[in-house]
Structure 1
């Protein structure tokens, strides 16, 4: 249920699950070099990178209709129009990133003639094998992946800036609700009675 000050709980859950999956996908591809190319561990890390990327795409496909159905709660205090437009552009860039990256990965594997694994399933190949195209797609995928570090970093920095400097509720709107903690003194008094 959406309250006045927070996003819908499903959107909050999908947002934070996406954060975890993207962090894991980046970690897997960055640290695969620990293992020699062609080893089972190296290949396993790449496979998990592919599967997590495709999971992010699946989550985004669930997220978009939810986002359209449940409007963003207003920020309190209300920011200037230029900040709202900049935030909208950033969200659009992040959504584009979340769509383009997994699709580019899928296209790259297709052009390499490699099976596309997805948790025990093999997804359909989207292109005929073409090594030159695969190399170009992989380069674009890597370039956009590097751009993703900047997008994610700016998004995170903006959220923290709003929370700690502007002291508005931008970050709290995407947080999980918590029950207020009972004060220890009151709890002790209740047990003595």
Structure 2
């Protein structure tokens, strides 16, 4: 690829970060939902909450790497979508980045205000604010509010990818798929032949 060529897919780092952060989101939401289903004194509630916090802080760490990776040349959508779809996509991405930064940050501040330790792998993070139970309650409210909004944002993002792939028939989704997956899919379609490829 020359310096003036247009990439057809995102760089490997961007693709890896995208799917890794999706896995972390599944872990974040899965842990907190499972904790909510368990009885009040269940012994797994504490470990689930700790894992939830760990995954959230991992997202907070990786989002900065992902922001830097966006400086790389990005592949254009082909065929080019309408301007309103492009604007909506930019707004959704901006909202997702705000979610990935603010939600873990609020969780960190919430635990600090509650006077609880903040373990992060082999480290214990410092408490950036003093203990304040009333502030901890407010921070918990906004942390949970953003977490709920995240369901809708992530769902909208996923639905948009499916819509572009199956309805608009553009390369929005395939730009972010690993090359190995695309190679496997092309090989599978070649073996099926044109007659079976278009069956529902």
Structure 2 residue 58 is the aligned partner of structure 1 residue 58 = no
For residue 71 of structure 1, report the CA deviation from its aligned partner: 2.6
Moved over 2 A (4+): 33-40, 178-184
Q: Residue 45 of structure 2 corresponds to which residue in structure 1?
A: 42
CA distance in 2, matches of 1:15, 1:3: 21
Deviations 1:77-101 (A, max 9, x none): 0111221111111100100100001
When normalised by structure 1's length, the TM-score is 0.89
Please, which runs of 5 or more residues in structure 1 have no aligned partner?
185-193
1:122: how far off?
Answer: 0.4
Q: CA deviation at 1:31?
A: 0.6
Point out where structure 2 has 5 or more consecutive residues left out of the alignment.
192-200
Query: Structure 1 CA distance, aligned partners of 2:86 and 2:73?
Result: 14
Q: Does 1:22 align with 2:28?
A: no
What RMSD in Å do the two structures reach over aligned CA positions?
1.9
**1:115 deviation in Å?**
0.4
Taking a change above 3 Å as real, the CA distance of residues 121 and 36 of structure 1, as seen in their structure-2 partners, is farther
The residue aligned with 2:83 is: 81
Write the distance in 2 (CA, Å) between the matches of 1:33 and 1:90. Answer: 28
Residue number among 152, 165, 187 corresponding to 1:181 in the alignment: 187
Q: Which residue of 2 aligns with 1:187?
A: none
Equivalent residues, number: 184
| 1-structure distance, mates of 2:137, 2:73 | 40
* Contact kept? 2:108, 2:118, Cα under 8 Å: yes
- Within a 5 Å distance, the mapping from 1:93-104 to structure 2 comes to 93-104=95-106
Instruction: Quote the offset at 1:4 in angstroms.
Output: 1.8
